Chains A and B, each alone.
Chain A
Amino acid sequence: MKDVYIYDSIRTPRGKGRKDGALHEVSALSLSITAIDAIADRNGLEGHAVEDVIWGNVTQVGEQGACLARTAVLASQLDESIPGLSINRFCASGLESVNLAANQIGGGSGDSYIAGGVESMSRTPMMSDGGAVGVDPSFTFDNYFVPQGIGADIIATEYGFNRDSVDEYAVESQKRAKLAWDENYFSNSIVPVRDINGLLILDKDEYMRPATDMQTLGALKPAFKEQGELMPGFDKVAIMKYPHLEKINHVHHAGNSSGIVDGSAAILLGNKEFGEKWGLKARARIKGTAKIGTDPTIMLTGPINATEKVLTDTKLDIKDIDLFEVNEAFASVALLFLQAFDVDSAKVNPNGGAIAMGHPLGATGTMILGTLLDELERTDKELGLATLCVASGMGAATVIERV
């Protein structure tokens, strides 16, 4: 395998994924173009500069349908000889796009790629693409399908995270995100979203609630209690898979789960020759990538297995890693990571995460890898690991090393 480097990384700010969100007027195509053009511009790319654009995107219907990646390439400033590939590994799509690109380059198929992703959750709602996973009895019965929120609550129950501990985690995420924005830690990567006339639409993450404290969170009702305990009663299904549990402790709510937002992000990857050809300086090396399948009912424990796998593959120990980005899909996912690896919580999501800033499904993986790189540079550290839990019981992870 050839060495593969990250040459650049950018992201849009995240808009609230609602009708009154700042990015609701912006199409998923436009968000994609913003990211792709920004990374091409910043690095002076022209012509057949990259082999492909691999674009993570979860809900591939409506305006996000029909291989949005190809549409975005053609609508951007990139050359039409660059094809475009939309991929879907649910919440890890934006990391998987990077990993796929890295492994293509490493395997010798092309010198460079743009990898990234997009999700306009306000315009194309989650789950509007249907899917047999929750509906087809040939799957749901034997695989004990429950929605993600129930999975997150199973984690909390099974690993002993009570309501206070998940809420405390959420408050901390908000604090860290506020500090990071106040101190301009993200400034190198943020590409403002503008209209067709160049007028500013959004230049800052819009979802954050820095005033959040235990009291405000305490007032929120558990979001998955009713569907778990009453209609249609997912807890019964969950307990069939985890029969030693008496009941599911429903602790998650909107305040300690990832926010629904709109956004896009891109990373430029290439081998050594690519950097030389275009006169670019590599910022980090991709040291290892991993993906893995895990129990689909608890669903969100994948970061543990993916991390173990990538550490084994890279012959690293958890202690070797300086910083971690663990996607805050739900507070219990991050808490489980801390518990499983017994790492210093200061090293994990130091600048907050999706609970504070939101989780634009297809883009998040790219975003957190970029955030990890920025923070390694800012604090002058070497090794970083990014990982996400993935719907239907999967996990993905990437280890990067500064060069």
Chain B
Amino acid sequence: MNSDFSIAIDNQKIATITWNCEKKSMNVLSFEALETLEKLIDQVIEDENITACILTSGKKDFAAGMDLNVLAQLKQSAGENPAEGVFNGVMKMHSVLRKIELAGMDPKTKKGGKPVVSVLPGTALGIGLEIPLSTHRIFAANNSKAKIGLPEILVGLFPGAGGTTRLVRKLGAMAASTYLLEGKTVAPNKAQAAGIIDQVDEDPMKAAREWVLNATEGDLVKPWDQKGYKIPGGTPYTPNGFMTFVGASAMINGKTQGAFPAAKALLSAVYEGALVPFDLALKVEARWFTNVIMNPSSSAMIRSLFINKSALEKGAVRPKDIDDQSVKKLGVLGAGMMGAGIALVSAQAGIEVVLIDQTQEAADKGKNFAEKHLDKGIKLGKTSQEQKESVLSNILPTSDLQLLSKVDLIVEAVFEDPKIKAEITQKVEGIIPKNCIFASNTSTLPITDLAKASSQPNQFIGIHFFSPVEKMRLVEIIRGKETNNTAVAKALDFVRQIRKTPIVVNDARFFYANRCIIPYINEGIRMVAEGIPPAMINNAAQMLGFPVGPIQLVDETSIDLGAKIARATKAAMGKDYPDDTVDEVIFWMEENGRLGRKSKAGFFDYDDKGKRTGYWQGLKDKYPYSKKQPSLQDVQHRLMFVQVLEAVRALEEGVLMDIREGDVGAILGWGFAPWSGGPLSWLDILGTAYAAERCKELSSDYGTRFEPPALLLEMSKTGEEFYTRFGHS
């Protein structure tokens, strides 16, 4: 028998079932443990020496959720028919939780049950909340760090162990939607206020004991098991409920742009479940949950956003045999937007930061940014005054380079000009310790070239942050030709300290992220030149799940920056340069002073506050809409493949060393269609054979940039998958 759950009975005949997974810092539910739990619940119900039961955790938190490997096991459990395996497995979960909920009651009269309550010492997420939701009352410790919620939607699932059905019946469809659809997690006091849990107490065990000893039969019967129960807010075909459900469909469809199958399945489970009795609603929930699990998108999302993301965060690609390289004192060169952001997140991680700029005033401005950010956190109740003071005390703004004499990592974030970068590199190298690692936060300049300015190019590395630093979760680490393993380990340990997700790539033009993003923007602009309405281009991208379409993105990043990169790229590539059509548009925009949001004029018009008011009409005059418009699928495939093929080429050329990084980096770095699991996962979903064929079509219709790379061609012959060939088990 699995030992994750154990039982103890005290002299008041109260049984305490304690969840405590061995060798794990957090409880996660396995299928074997579920069977143990069921046996213990059977014992509670049958043993006359037990009158009540408290379910709690032996750890500081209750549970983090399901062991996601269970889903793979379930798929395999029914042989030829994986859907049946998943469905049966989920129904098994329902039956155990329903057993807890009914706790030995007479099925008709609902009399005679024993109180079963849960006590949450800390965080309770996913199944870690779904199990408590099946108990008769949820007590939680007054632990402001604890997170309570059902975040399944964030990895492409939805709560499938009754969480959806129970929360809707508890709160009503409208109130439950924040937690189910957005995966919002909250501290215990907020969860209590929302009605998700019942009681927050300094001593929840004591409160729970008191409650079970005094509970009456009626206290145990869930509202939905009582006669005359109605879902708060109404079912779909009541006057109130009708408007709620009409609105929910439209709102979720519009918000997810149809790109997230789990959101739609969740809503179906809610809608269909609301029309039938509770037990049938659980069955309907199981059918939709199975449907989501069987959708290749959900496995791809789980793989990238859960399994591989956490593997990368735990050092999956860190060079072995290098001691801990945690940063103690960091030097940040340049206190502009990027430098200030890097200083902030580092100081928040408890790292001492020397923030350098040319003048004291400029350096102070960088620290001021951190202060403002922390003040915002205080306003939102996310940051305390003490936290603010401690973070700010970690940042020393100065123009005095001598103060860098004891730092162990430098992140240079000065102007994107090789000359300026070379100068500061040499200046600083005269001051910093010999073993200090020097990193550049360049987004486009080759690291190997920048390293030439260094006397120790083996200690020179790229650490590319995304803007805004405090929000973006990805950091791209670039290994120059001579960069050594210690430098890579240093960068990875630093990223771990600041709790972001790293990828490590080899040095090449635009590294990995910008290598894909730039063609995405360019393809959008190319379509403008072809006379495709910019609305079509942006909307097509948003319907793929991109947070912003290429036309909006170029307005955000600014058109003169695009023009500058284009000129530099053209100078470097010479006659092979493929993007003259694109340049024609952006150079013309630049000449007309339409530089994007910063100039309040770009592909969009803006009001005084910089808010978009609509597409600029002048663009249509210059590039009138063509009579023959492409299909939505053509537009979407162009936008997808132009990035995806770059990812394949990056893999082919050894810039990407690990496909997990290619997929995780794309989703976290620039919001690449999250439902796909990333560019390489998407090719697997499409099938490499189809993908190669489709690229050939696009190549003949729209240009040779879509010609399938040799690697894809080769794989397409046998339909080989990227995750079969390059995956990690």
**Partner-contacting stretch, out of A31-39, A106-114, A137-145:** A137-145
Q: Does A65 contact B (CB under 8 A)?
A: no
A237 and B543 contact, Cβ closer than 8 Å, known pairs A138-B268, A243-B535, A243-B536: no
Chain A residues in 8 Å Cβ range of B540: 243
Cβ < 8 Å to A, chain B residues 236-284 = 236-237, 242, 245-255, 257-258, 264, 267-268, 271-272
Whole-angstrom distance from the CB of B238 to the nearest CB of chain A? 9
Write out, one digit per residue, whether chain A residues 121-137 have a CB within 8 A of any chain B CB (1) or not (0): 00000010010001111
- What is the minimal beta-carbon distance from A299 to any residue of chain B, in angstroms? 14
Which residue in chain A gives the minimum CB-CB distance to B615?
A246
Interface residues on A, range: 20 to 34
Task: State which residues 51-69 of A face B: CB under 8 Å.
Answer: none
* With A134-B249, A135-B242, A232-B246 as contacts: A240 and B614 at CB distance below 8 Å: no
B704 close to chain A: CB less than 8 A: no
Asked if A160 CB lies within 8 Å of chain B CBs, one says no
B250 touches which one: A138, A145, A243 (CB < 8 A)? A145
In the complex, A138→B264 CA distance in Å?
A: 8
Nearest CB of B to A225, in Å: 15
- Report the minimal beta-carbon distance from B376 to chain A, rounded to whole angstroms: 26
Q: In whole Å, how far is A207's beta carbon from the nearest beta carbon of chain B?
A: 26
Residues of A within 8 A of B614 (CB): 246-247
* Chain B residues within an 8 Å CB radius of A234: 250, 254
- 8 A Cβ contacts from B515-568 to A: 532-536, 539-540, 543
Question: Which of B248, B272, B539 gathers the greatest number of chain A CB atoms within 10 Å?
Answer: B539
Contact check, B258 vs A141: say whether CB atoms are below 8 A apart.
Answer: yes
Main secondary structure of the interface of A (DSSP, over half): loop
Q: How far is the CA of A146 from the CA of B251 in the complex (A)?
A: 11
What total of chain B residues lie within 8 Å of the partner, measured CB to CB? 34
Q: Is A231 an interface residue (CB 8 A)?
A: yes
Q: In the complex, what distance in Å separates the CA atom of A96 from the CA atom of B242?
A: 28
For residue B629, CB closer than 8 A to chain A, the reply is yes
Report yes or no: A137 in contact with B535, Cβ–Cβ below 8 A.
no
Q: How far is the CA of A239 from the CA of B248 in the complex (A)?
A: 17
Please give, as numbers and ranges, the residues of chain A lying within 8 Å of B257 by CB-CB distance. 236, 240
How far is it, in angstroms, between the C-alpha of A134 and the C-alpha of B534 when the chains are bound?
30
Closest Cβ of chain B: how far from A237's Cβ, in Å? Answer: 5
B246 x A134 contact (CB < 8 A):
yes
For the residues of B in contact with A, the DSSP-based class is helix
Given A135-B242, A240-B258, verify A140-B535 contact (CB < 8 Å): no
- A232 engages B250 (CB within 8 Å): yes
Interface-centre pick from A137, A244, A246 (highest chain B CB count, 10 A): A137
Q: Is A245 an interface residue (CB 8 A)?
A: yes
Contact B543 A146 (CB under 8 A): no
Could you say which residues of chain A place their CB within 8 Å of the CB of B272? 136
Whether the pair B632, A243 counts as a contact (CB closer than 8 A) is: yes
Question: With A239-B539, A240-B257, A243-B632 given, is the CB distance from A232 to B251 under 8 Å?
Answer: yes
**Beta-carbon contact of A232 and B248 below 8 Å:** yes
Contacts of A232 in B (CB 8 A): 246-248, 250-251, 254
Known: A130-B242, A240-B543. A141 touches B535 (CB 8 A): no
Chain B residues with CB under 8 Å of A247's CB are 614
* Chain A residue with the shortest CB-CB distance to B243: A232
Chain A residues whose CB sits within 8 angstroms of the CB of B236 once the complex forms: 130, 135-136
Q: Once bound together, how far apart are the Cα atoms of A245 and B534, in whole Å?
A: 9
Instruction: List chain A residues, Cβ under 8 A from B246.
Output: 134-135, 232
Q: A137-B267, A140-B249, A246-B614 are in contact. Are A236 and B237 (CB under 8 A)?
A: no
Determine if A233 is an interface residue (Cβ-Cβ < 8 Å): yes
Q: Is B254's CB under 8 angstroms from A236's CB?
A: yes
Question: Which of B250, B267, B614, B615 neighbours the largest number of chain A CB atoms within 10 Å of its CB?
Answer: B250
Chain B residues within 8 Å of A, Cβ to Cβ:
236-237, 242, 245-255, 257-258, 264, 267-268, 271-272, 532-536, 539-540, 543, 614-615, 629, 632, 635
Other A-B contacts than A134-B246, A138-B268, A237-B250, 10 sampled, CB-CB below 8 A, are: A135-B245, A136-B236, A231-B247, A232-B247, A232-B248, A233-B251, A235-B254, A236-B253, A240-B539, A246-B614
8 A-B interface contacts by CB (under 8 A): A136-B236, A137-B268, A145-B249, A231-B251, A232-B246, A232-B250, A240-B254, A243-B635
